[in-house]
């Protein structure tokens, strides 16, 4: 190591890198670590547990990383994931990049091999330039070279992950540093807790006035909440903003429940209509990325549209279309400043009525499909059954991944409370299921239900052993239609279609084999019964729901992004 720590005189009480790292994390309020152990970080897990903290040990670092990122999202504190070097680090890096993309605060800590050997590429055990590989995938990538720098590194990691737009931070710890000793007294002095790591950022009064004027002159205003608004944890202010102004709102998927889906101003069931017909759209913690068709095109209709955008990241403004009234600041400050400026303002009642009527009509149209029996269950009646059970347990966290299993569940299952839905997020990434479920159970202490497509589940399926090992109140529902999107694709000669999986896979028995409860259901009634019993039991359970292989559609609701050959197969 380039900067050797000073020699400590004999008789002085010692500490080392392991202990200093844990002291620093504990000081910063971290209680749960998610990770996967081995050389050189094994002792991190043992010692963390010996100190009375929780270490959630996973079967693959990617899932541990997803867990840490979701812990960060749910708690507004950075979620911490610990991995071994090179391959373990790379597995965790996917989750770190996903956390950064989704604006979730997370710290990935990986052990790394000896720098003298790595830097000269002399073939060390798990050799890799982790520091530089991580850099483009997170907000900051730091290496700690001396034990007395652990404190400052953790403080910088925490502040960087939480401040401004939240995201991921990588901390690289060369193996030898963990056991390098220094004076315990000096070590203690090197640690501190950052003051106000996510400071309020107030919007300029002129910007608030500009936004309020635009809203006051709108005939058809709309508030669109993204997961940034859910993350901000100013739920009461947001509800007041909506109710005081009488403006209809619609949530992006993970903002569902920030205000109940059953609130009279919720326009989620009139989504196309409100996006197209609104004249002023107030974006609150939502980016105009692919999920919002970049703010353009037929999704947004032909009528001229003006945007107010509340975001902490100034460079997000104008990223796709002109933003008429940017409000750069934290959501709590911006929403409250707008409320003050809009005092006494009410949106036109005829607009809210039109939205409510459309939403009620959509709900009424969907309702019979959710309870109509079919020879084999489809997405509608199976999810209708799930929805009816979950109504009774509003504080359950719903984890959701898949294509049809995702899009239909988002539409059918109402959310009632903030931050109770975790899904595939900005990247539409499969495999977040089990990590998210473990984190949600660990961080909330409440039951979790994960609704997963059979393909999506496969990405993190072995983690049901993790769920069972920690005896978490998690129910996994696998929507088994035997494939990606559909299970009825014809197979070419002498091959099984590349889109199919074995529909007879006994996912329920997999759960039984790891000590949980497994149930296989074929009707909505069986599904309701099994789900209710599982939630009441508080025990790890997997319900395999057999879904009609023909029920899904290619790419779910985002078929427009799918690319198909214009000329067909040429042999
Ligand atoms: O207004 P209109 O008429 O438009 O109607 C809307 C609402 O008004 C209405 N609505 C309602 N009606 C009645 N009642 C209620 N309560 C109600 N609420 C709403 O419903 C419609 C739809 O509303 P919604 O959903 O709000 O709106 P819309 O238009 O869909 O919103 C647009 C989007 C873009 C915001 C939304 O669609 C969205 O959030 N989409 C996210 C999609 C996504 O991320 N998908 C995942 C990726 S797909 C693909 O890439 C997959 N892969 C590849 C792969 C991935 N992803 N990752 C990795 C690591 N490797 C590979 C794979 C492998 S999916 C996949 C596996 C798939 O197979 P599975 O077996 O897992 O799953 P199955 O498909 O089930 O087999
Ligand atoms: P969704 O996918 O739900 O539409 P996005 O992830 O695209 O949401 O957008 C979240 C946005 O919220 C990001 O642009 C991020 O900068 C912003 N954000 C996150 N936390 C805050 C906060 N406390 N205050 C203001 N903006 C925030
Ligand atoms: Mg499937």
Tokens of 157: 């990691």
User: What atom of ligand 2 comes closest to residue 252's alpha carbon?
Assistant: 3
Q: What is the DSSP string of 294-323?
A: GG-SGGG-SS--EEEEEES-GGGTTSSS--
3-state secondary structure of 223: strand
Q: Give me the numbers of helices (H) and strands (E) for the chain, helices first please.
A: 22, 19
- CA 142 to chain centroid, in Å, comes to 24
What is each CA distance from 115 to 3, 121, 142, 526, in whole angstroms?
Answer: 12, 9, 14, 58
Q: Is the pTM of this model over 0.85?
A: yes
What is each CA distance from 318 to 143, 281, 308, in whole angstroms?
Answer: 35, 14, 11
- Give pLDDT tens digits for 55-93: 999 999 999 999 999 999 999 999 999 999 999 999 999
Cα–Cα distance, 566 to 71 (Å, whole number): 44
**Which 8-state DSSP code applies to residue 39?**
T
Confidence (pLDDT) at 116? 93
Cα–Cα distance, 519 to 510 (Å, whole number): 10
Confidence (pLDDT) at 474? 99
Q: What is the 455 CA–ligand 3 centroid distance (Å)?
A: 5
The residue to mutate among 70, 73, 105, 228, having the most atoms of ligand 2 within 8 angstroms of its beta carbon, is 228
Q: What is the 454 CA–ligand 3 centroid distance (Å)?
A: 5
- Residues having CB within 6 Å of any atom of ligand 2: 102-103, 165-166, 226-228, 231-232, 252, 254-255, 285-287, 289, 291, 311-313, 316, 330-331, 426
Domains annotated for the chain, with CATH where assigned, are: 14-189 (3.40.50.970), 205-356 (3.40.50.1220), 372-554 (3.40.50.970)
Q: Let me know: does 142 contact 171? Beta carbons within 8 Å.
A: yes
Indicate the length of the chain as a whole number: 571
Cα–Cα distance, 407 to 390 (Å, whole number): 17
- Give pLDDT tens digits for 399-444: 999 999 999 999 999 999 999 999 999 999 999 999 999 999 999 9
Query: Which residue puts its alpha carbon closest to atom 11 of ligand 2?
Result: 285
Q: What is the 405 CA–ligand 1 centroid distance (Å)?
A: 8
Q: What is the DSSP string of 81-142?
A: EEE-SHHHHHHHHHHHHHHHHHT--EEEEEEE--HHHHHTT---TT---HHHHHGGGSSEEE
The number of beta carbons lying within 10 Å of the beta carbon of residue 286 is 26
Starting from the CA of residue 312, give the closest ligand: 2
- Give pLDDT tens digits for 379-398: 999 999 999 999 999 999 99
The residue to mutate among 102, 411, 480, having the most atoms of ligand 1 within 8 angstroms of its beta carbon, is 411
Q: What does the pLDDT average to over 32-38?
A: 98
Query: Which residue puts its alpha carbon closest to atom 6 of ligand 2?
Result: 102
Of the candidates 108, 82, 191, 107, the one whose C-alpha atom is nearest the C-alpha of residue 147 is 191
Confidence (pLDDT) at 2? 42
Classify strands 32-35 and 474-480 as parallel, antiparallel or unpaired: unpaired
Confidence (pLDDT) at 3? 45
Question: Percent of the chain scored above 90 by pLDDT?
Answer: 97
The number of beta carbons lying within 10 Å of the beta carbon of residue 130 is 27
Q: What is the 499 CA–ligand 3 centroid distance (Å)?
A: 9
Confidence (pLDDT) at 384? 98
- Give pLDDT tens digits for 214-260: 999 999 999 999 999 999 999 999 999 999 999 999 999 999 999 99
- CA 554 to chain centroid, in Å, comes to 24
168 sits in which H/E element: strand 168-174
User: What atom of ligand 1 comes closest to residue 484's alpha carbon?
Assistant: 68
User: Is residue 183 pLDDT above 80, yes or no?
Assistant: yes
Confidence (pLDDT) at 6? 63
Q: Let me know: does 276 contact 303? Beta carbons within 8 Å.
A: yes
Supply φ then ψ for residue 102, to 5 degrees. Answer: -90, 0
Query: Which residue puts its alpha carbon closest to atom 16 of ligand 2?
Result: 165
What is each CA distance from 359 to 219, 243, 275, in whole angstroms?
Answer: 19, 18, 13
* pLDDT interval class at 1 (50, 70, 90): very low
Q: Let me know: does 427 contact 397? Beta carbons within 8 Å.
A: no
Q: What does the pLDDT average to over 109-131?
A: 96
Residues with CB under 5 A from ligand 3 (ion): 453-454, 481
User: What atom of ligand 2 comes closest to residue 313's alpha carbon?
Assistant: 16
**Considering Cα of 21, then 27, then 31, then 34, what sign does the dihedral take?**
negative
What is each CA distance from 202 to 33, 104, 167, 291, 316, in whole angstroms?
Answer: 33, 21, 20, 28, 17
Considering only the C-alpha atoms of the chain, give the largest distance between any 2 of them, rounded to a whole number of Å.
Answer: 81
- CA 151 to chain centroid, in Å, comes to 28
Q: What is the DSSP string of 7-20?
A: PPPTTS-EEEHHHH
Cα–Cα distance, 63 to 92 (Å, whole number): 8
Classify strands 14-16 and 181-183 as parallel, antiparallel or unpaired: antiparallel
> Cβ contacts of residue 260 below 8 Å, gap of 6+?
266, 414, 415, 416, 417
User: Is residue 162 pLDDT above 90, yes or no?
Assistant: yes
* pLDDT interval class at 124 (50, 70, 90): very high
Mean pLDDT of the chain: 97
Q: What is the 457 CA–ligand 2 centroid distance (Å)?
A: 27
- Give pLDDT tens digits for 281-337: 999 999 999 999 999 999 999 989 999 999 999 999 999 999 999 999 999 999 999
Q: Let me know: does 91 contact 35? Beta carbons within 8 Å.
A: no
Q: Let me know: does 495 contact 488? Beta carbons within 8 Å.
A: no
What is each CA distance from 390 to 144, 404, 446, in whole angstroms?
Answer: 46, 19, 13
Q: Let me know: does 99 contact 227? Beta carbons within 8 Å.
A: no
Query: Which residue puts its alpha carbon closest to atom 19 of ligand 1?
Result: 269
Q: Let me know: does 359 contact 272? Beta carbons within 8 Å.
A: no
User: Is residue 470 pLDDT above 50, yes or no?
Assistant: yes
Query: Which residue puts its alpha carbon closest to atom 20 of ligand 2?
Result: 228
User: Is residue 139 pLDDT above 50, yes or no?
Assistant: yes
């Amino acid at each position: 190591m380039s900067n050797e720590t000073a020699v400590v005189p004999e008789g002085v009480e010692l500490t080392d890198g392991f202990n200093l790292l844990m002291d620093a994390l504990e000081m910063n309020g971290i209680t749960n670590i998610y990770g996967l152990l081995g050389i050189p970080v094994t002792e991190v897990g043992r010692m963390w547990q010996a100190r009375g903290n929780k270490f959630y040990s996973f079967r693959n670092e990617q899932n541990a990383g997803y867990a840490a990122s979701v812990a960060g999202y749910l708690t507004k504190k950075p979620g911490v994931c610990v991995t071994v070097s090179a391959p373990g680090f790379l597995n965790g890096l996917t989750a770190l990049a996903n956390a950064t993309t989704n604006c979730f605060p997370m710290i990935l800590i990986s052990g790394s091999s000896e720098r003298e050997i790595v830097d000269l590429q002399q073939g060390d055990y798990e050799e890799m330039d982790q520091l530089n590989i991580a850099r483009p995938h997170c907000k900051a990538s730091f290496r700690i070279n001396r034990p007395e720098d652990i404190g400052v590194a953790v403080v910088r990691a925490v502040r960087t992950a939480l401040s401004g737009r939240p995201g991921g931070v990588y901390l690289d710890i060369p193996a030898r540093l963990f056991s390098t000793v220094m004076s315990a007294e000096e070590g203690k002095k090197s640690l501190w807790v950052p003051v106000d790591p996510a400071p309020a950022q107030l919007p300029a009064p002129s910007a608030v006035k500009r936004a309020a004027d635009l809203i006051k002159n709108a005939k058809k205003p709309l508030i669109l909440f993204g997961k940034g608004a859910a993350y901000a944890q100013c739920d009461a202010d947001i509800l007041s903003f909506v109710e005081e102004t009488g403006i209809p709102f619609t949530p992006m998927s993970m903002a569902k429940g920030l205000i109940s889906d059953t609130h009279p101003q919720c326009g989620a069931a009139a989504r196309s209509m409100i996006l197209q017909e609104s004249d002023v759209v107030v974006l609150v913690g939502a980016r105009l990325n692919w999920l919002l068709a970049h703010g353009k095109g037929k999704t947004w209709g032909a009528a001229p549209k003006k945007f107010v955008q509340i975001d902490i990241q100034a460079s997000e403004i104008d990223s796709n279309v002109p933003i008429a009234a940017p409000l750069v600041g934290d959501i709590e400050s911006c929403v409250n400043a707008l409320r003050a400026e809009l005092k006494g303002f009410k949106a036109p009642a005829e607009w809210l009525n039109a939205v409510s009527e459309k939403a009620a009509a959509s709900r009424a149209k969907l309702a019979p499909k959710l309870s109509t029996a079919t020879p084999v269950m489809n997405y509608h009646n199976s999810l209708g059954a799930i929805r009816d059970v979950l109504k009774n347990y509003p504080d359950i966290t719903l984890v959701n991944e898949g294509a049809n299993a995702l899009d239909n569940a988002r539409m059918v299952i109402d959310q009632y409370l903030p931050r109770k839905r975790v899904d595939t997020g900005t990247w539409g990434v499969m495999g977040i299921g089990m990590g998210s479920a473990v984190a949600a159970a660990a961080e909330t202490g409440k039951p979790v239900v994960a609704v997963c497509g059979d393909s999506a589940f496969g990405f993190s399926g072995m983690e049901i052993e993790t769920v069972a090992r920690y005896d978490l109140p998690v129910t996994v529902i696998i929507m088994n239609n035997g494939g990606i999107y559909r299970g009825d694709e014809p197979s070419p000669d002498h091959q099984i279609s590349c889109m199919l999986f074995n529909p007879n896979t006994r996912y329920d028995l997999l759960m039984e084999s790891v000590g949980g409860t497994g149930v296989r259901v074929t009707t909505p009634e069986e599904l309701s019964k099994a789900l209710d019993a599982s939630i009441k039991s508080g025990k790890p359970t997997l319900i395999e729901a057999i879904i009609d292989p023909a029920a899904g559609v290619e790419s779910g609701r985002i078929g427009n992004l799918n690319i198909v050959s214009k000329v067909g197969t040429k042999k």
